[in-house]
Amino acid sequence: MSRIGNNPVAIPEGVTVDVKDSVVSVKGKLGELTQNYDSIEIKVDEGNVMVTRSSDTKDQKAKHGLYRSLMHNMIEGVSKGWTKELELVGVGYRASNQGQKLDLALGFSHNIVLNVAPEVKVETISEKGKNPIIKLTSFDKQLVGQVAAKIRGFRPPEPYKGKGIKFVGEELRRKAGKSA
Residues 38-49 pLDDT 10s: 989 999 998 999
Q: How many residues does the chain have?
A: 180
Judgement on whether residues 74 and 86 belong to the same structural domain of the protein: no
Q: Does residue 99 lie in a domain region?
A: yes
Round to whole Å and give the CA distance between 58 and 11: 29
pLDDT at 138 over 90: yes
3-class DSSP state of 139:
coil
- Structural domain count, the chain: 2
Average per-residue pLDDT for the chain: 93
Which phi-psi region, left, alpha or beta, contains residue 151 (left: φ > 0; alpha: ψ -120 to 50)?
Answer: alpha
Compute the distance between CA of residue 62 and CA of residue 65 in angstroms, rounded to an integer. 7
pLDDT of 17 reads: 94
Last residue of a domain, one of 46, 79, 112: 79
Maximum C-alpha span of the chain: 68
Q: Are residues 39 and 74 in the same domain?
A: yes
Domain span at residue 60? 3-79
pLDDT band at 177 (very low <50, low <70, confident <90, very high): confident
CATH code at position 64: 3.90.930.12
In a domain, 67, yes or no: yes
Say yes or no: 89 and 70 in one domain. no
Q: Assign 178 a pLDDT band (cuts: 50, 70, 90).
A: confident
Contact 30, 77 (CB under 8 A): yes
pLDDT in tens, 108-133: 999 999 999 999 999 999 999 999 99
Indicate whether 54 and 89 sit together in one domain: no
